[in-house]
A and B are shown apart, each in its own frame.
Chain A
Amino acid sequence: MTISRETVINLALALLLLAIPYAAIQLGNPFYVTLATRMAILGLAAVGLNIALGLGGLVSFGHAAFFGVGGYVAGILASHAMSMQPFNFGLFTLSGSNQMPVIWLVALVAGGLLAAAIGAISLRTSGVYFIMITLAFAQMTYYFAISWPAYGGEDGLSILIRNQFPGVNTMVPLNYFLICYAVLIAAILVSMLIRDSRFGAALQASRQNEVRVASVGIAPFRIRLAAFVISGMMTALAGALYADLNRFVSPSMLSWHMSGEFIVLIILGGVGRLYGPVAGAMLFVMFEFLLGGMTERWQFFLGLVLLGVVLFARGGLIGLLAGRARHG
């Protein structure tokens, strides 16, 4: 079995990201651990989006909705656990939780349900209309969060103590990085399985030629909807982790800037490539940190880089290093 160049690059990226926090601690600069955690979490959110956008060609401009819902799940469950106030559903009550596995599960379910609802409507359109309708849905969740005073409204909601993971002290930055990193790698493995599976074949073929897929008896709509749900779930999980990283969740997680950022990550790294979102997130956070330290207008320079990628390196960083994608 030959190992492709892309596999080598992927492995190198994974190791590089893992090495950053250790190097940071060695160099006596623990702040970089947080940067690496940010890379892992944004990477995870974009790995989720990449299933819809990269494999399925579904340019969702609304993935901030799932990211934010994941974040609010973490914030709301934690605040109820903190105040010991159970949720009152009339017939029964449920207590909050400060356990990450519980929070993640709820985030996955909430993200999946929201994606199913948004996808069921949005996927009846395509092209620019799909982009606009996903944006519209995400903006609805944004304004909903702003006008919902119970959980902070416009001011957001603080998580006083980072939620817990069994057997791990999550307040230690390196520990929290490792949790996020493990979730990221697991998500990449899942998206690899999906890419190579029958479902992935139908999804990628639907992106290339919808009529062809229907003509062999596979209805593209159901395939796309399932992909959109899986995609939304992963991004919601990233949102829960992001809320715990900042120990704060606010409507800005739901804003269209966030959706745009995820798309930018994927384009920087390489659309549809397994590690494209990770490469993109690493580049993005690095730019944000280095350029952001020099000038307030760092996004102008990011824009230039993005322009360069779109004009001269359509495959993003992975495409530049590993060449064109191959489909066997």
Chain B
Amino acid sequence: MVESSGPDAVLSIRDLCKSFGALKATDHVSLDLRDGEIHALIGPNGAGKSTLIHQIAGTLRPDAGEIDFLGQPVGHLGVAERARLGLGRSFQVSSLAPEFSALRNVMLAVQSRQGSSFRFFRPVMRDASLVDPAMAALERVGLKDRARIPAAELSHGERRQLEIAIALALGSRAFLLDEPMAGMGPEGSRQLTGFLDRLRGEAPILLIEHDMDAVFALADRVSVLVYGRVIASGSVDEIRNDAEVRRAYLGDPA
């Protein structure tokens, strides 16, 4: 079930391994993310999905294997360097600057994208080159009216949207979204599904999600992770009809 990475792969992972003691959280995982697609990563709790995202983003070091992004190896780079190359992510548990308003959280990404943070004199709140793009990103995820609210006071779902706005403002070339629908109501999920559907035209998305309706509605391809291994990978229909996947994950007795 090892895929070869196509020429249009934006992100490709080969033979990634990560163990915590005796536990193989990532066991020779290979997958790629192609231009314009949503590649969903599904699997039961504890399958190693978030661990995989952490290794791609750089917060965890893999024991072995290679990660290529935009045609260059990034395995040796730190989190900040990978983000600057254009790896935007959202976290399974929202990770924001809690005292900063939604707007200032996004402005931090805009500032990083513009280059150096070693600027000491111009007040950021009066800098239209920071505020305007940040507002635009908030507007796209539907948070414009909440721009001045501290991140700590936003609802669970709003924080999710804010993380996506930050990734947008970063000008990401690929998105790693770890359960973006979690904690959202049905209406929020529906809106976000529509939004991600359009977003894939801008940059491909590696999507971890438990909401199967969203996964089957959105994904171009699905990979199934169980005990750190990819047990199946293919189109939505292929995955739906894969006997092993149904047994291992979808809970189908058939």
- B residues 66-124 with Cβ under 8 Å of A? 78-81, 83-84, 89, 91, 95-101, 103-105, 107-109, 111-113, 116-124
In the complex, what's the smallest C-beta–C-beta distance from B107 to chain A, in angstroms? 7
- Establish whether residues A215 and B99, one from each chain, have CB atoms under 8 Å apart when the complex forms: no
In the complex, what's the smallest C-beta–C-beta distance from B58 to chain A, in angstroms? 8
Q: For residue A197, which residues in chain B have a CB less than 8 angstroms away from its CB?
A: 119-124
The chain B residue sitting closest to A219, CB to CB, is B80
Complex CA–CA separation, A214 to B54 (angstroms): 13
Q: How many chain A residues touch B (Cβ–Cβ < 8 Å)?
A: 28
Complex CA–CA separation, A149 to B103 (angstroms): 57
The segment from A3-11, A176-184, A202-210, A283-291 found at the interface with B is A202-210
Q: For residue A328, which residues in chain B have a CB less than 8 angstroms away from its CB?
A: 101, 103-104, 125, 148
- Once A205-B97, A327-B150 are accepted as A-B contacts, the answer to whether A199 and B84 lie under 8 Å apart by CB is no
B191 lies within 8 A of chain A by Cβ: no
Q: Size range of the interface on B? A: 35 or more
In the complex, what's the smallest C-beta–C-beta distance from A189 to chain B, in angstroms? 11
- Once A212-B97, A214-B83, A217-B113 are accepted as A-B contacts, the answer to whether A327 and B121 lie under 8 Å apart by CB is no
Complex CA–CA separation, A193 to B121 (angstroms): 5
Q: Within the complex, which residue of A199, A215, A327 is in contact with B79, where a contact is CB–CB below 8 Å?
A: A215
- A residues 165-217 with Cβ under 8 Å of B? 193-194, 196-202, 204-205, 208-209, 211-217
Q: For residue B91, which residues in chain A have a CB less than 8 angstroms away from its CB?
A: 211, 215
Query: Would you give the 0/1 interface string for A266-307, flagging 1 where the beta carbon is closer than 8 Å to chain B?
Result: 000000000000000000000000000000000000000000
A140 lies within 8 A of chain B by Cβ: no
B13 lies within 8 A of chain A by Cβ: no
B57 lies within 8 A of chain A by Cβ: yes
- Establish whether residues B78 and A219, one from each chain, have CB atoms under 8 Å apart when the complex forms: yes
B33 lies within 8 A of chain A by Cβ: no
Complex CA–CA separation, A328 to B97 (angstroms): 13
Query: Would you give the 0/1 interface string for B111-148, flagging 1 where the beta carbon is closer than 8 Å to chain A?
Result: 11100111111111100001000000000000000001
Q: For residue A208, which residues in chain B have a CB less than 8 angstroms away from its CB?
A: 97-100
In the complex, what's the smallest C-beta–C-beta distance from B80 to chain A, in angstroms? 4
- Establish whether residues B104 and A196, one from each chain, have CB atoms under 8 Å apart when the complex forms: no
B31 lies within 8 A of chain A by Cβ: no
Q: Within the complex, which residue of B89, B98, B100, B116 is in contact with A215, where a contact is CB–CB below 8 Å?
A: B89
Q: For residue A205, which residues in chain B have a CB less than 8 angstroms away from its CB?
A: 97, 100, 105, 108
A218 lies within 8 A of chain B by Cβ: yes
- B residues 154-193 with Cβ under 8 Å of A? 166, 170
- Establish whether residues A204 and B84, one from each chain, have CB atoms under 8 Å apart when the complex forms: no
Complex CA–CA separation, A211 to B108 (angstroms): 13
B59 lies within 8 A of chain A by Cβ: yes
For the complex with contacts A215-B91, A325-B99, 7 further pairs of A-B residues with Cβ separation under 8 Å are: A209-B96, A211-B91, A213-B108, A216-B83, A217-B112, A218-B108, A223-B117
| Pairs across A and B, CB under 8 Å, 24 listed | A198-B118, A198-B124, A201-B124, A204-B99, A204-B100, A205-B97, A205-B105, A208-B98, A209-B98, A211-B79, A211-B95, A212-B97, A214-B59, A214-B78, A215-B80, A215-B91, A216-B109, A217-B80, A217-B84, A218-B80, A218-B112, A220-B80, A226-B118, A328-B101
